[in-house]
A and B are shown apart, each in its own frame.
Chain A
Amino acid sequence: MTSETRDGDESDRHLIARWGAGDSRAASLLVGRHADALARFAVSSGEREEVEELVQDTFVRAFGSLDSFRGDSSLRTWLFTIERRLMLDRRRAERRQRAMVSIEPSDAVTEYDALDGVLAEEAETRVRLAVTSLSPTQREVFTLRAEQGLSYREIAEVVGTTEGAARVHYHNAMRAVKEFLND
């Protein structure tokens, strides 16, 4: 039942073609269209620092290899894929440097406390805490599905899994969020 076409997809391709033909203004339109979604995905995935740099790096990588974008997926899905790889690279590097404490499910309360303090009882914050309590994979899939509205096929492409696995992760995540909120 999922509609696989997004209204902006055709325009994205058109803008890519314009950029490829030498119209530099098309780049501004593409960045303006997708930058916020990339930033939200980064924050939802646990990134707290240098989000703008991450988004910028994503676009730099994407425009540097735009000729390899075949249009099989939407541009936004492709951008999410690039951003996710950058986030993984960044986390690996930070882990090596022991400068970053990886956010594991068990750290959710700590992260929540640090972020939101005394607002723990507010419903919105409880929902956020429920999402934060998910495993990294579940949170990633759930965020892409619930917050970004990607299809299972697109999510599978972003996180490098199958469509069926993405569906299972989503439903497990939804169940976990419900259980968290019912407790």
Chain B
Amino acid sequence: MTAVAKSTAHSVVEASPRGKAVAGTIVILYALIAILPLLWIAATAFKSQSDAIAYPPKVIFQPTLEGYVNLFTVRTRQTREFIANLPPATTWYDRLVRNHDMVIAGPSKVVPRFINSLVIGFGSTFLAVLLGTLAAYAFSRFRIPLADDLLFFILSTRMMPPVAVAIPIYLMYRQLNLTDTKIGMILLYTAVNVSLAVWLLKGFIDEIPREYEEAALVDGYTRLQALRKVVLPQAVTGIAATAIFCLIFSWNEYAFAVLLTSGDAQTMPPFIPFIIGEGGQDWPAVAAATTLFVIPIVLFTILLRRHLLRGITFGAVRK
């Protein structure tokens, strides 16, 4: 009897070996097709200009670092005689560029743009997580009048289309001299991220039993000490996950960046499509930039796997 019951249960809850094999094949096939575009980007970064736009598209090619060199430099075309008269190239990238009758004229703007992305990303993440942690703790532990309405208000600020938000922000920043400044972008991204931070962190803090804090309060800790020494250490994974989500948002954001920045505070997403060479987009350089831009996100995604679901649903689904 029990053996029969057991085997029935087994067949119900777990798929048959054949069912598993079929499911596995389809899913793996989908996954392979889905990452092909990403692999194509990574491969294009190592192609020469002509290989990148060859017909038929080249799968096997002679790898070169031209794309990466072009990404980081500005070059000018020169005559062969001019190049022959120059002192000999000292570095491998000088030589690579000179093979194409070009001379490196200086560094490109990619490094400052990358630094902008980092500064704005980390700045807004730090502020959003700081404000978010405080607010989430208050919402989780204290009775706040109209708490639900306030929480909904905080979330609703995120429902606005970014282009719509950008119109008054543009006017306001013009008055305050904040257009195209890092501080302006940090404040804007903080405002967008803080809604996510409050909602996610409230979920994480709700899960920490109140008893720990109450014990600490009885032991003579103040509220703030209890927060610092009891709650925060337990919320640290949640805070880290939230921070990564905020960082990814700021890192990927395009609409505000393209509408409100043009130079000094421009981040990578509006910059990458405008990496142009002679005659249109310099695809290997664009691919190189895209690869460098995407790698940290891929690593973070793997790191975040367990919290991904919470992050993308504002903590509504927790597993």
Co-complex (A, B): no
A residues within 8 Å of B by Cβ? none
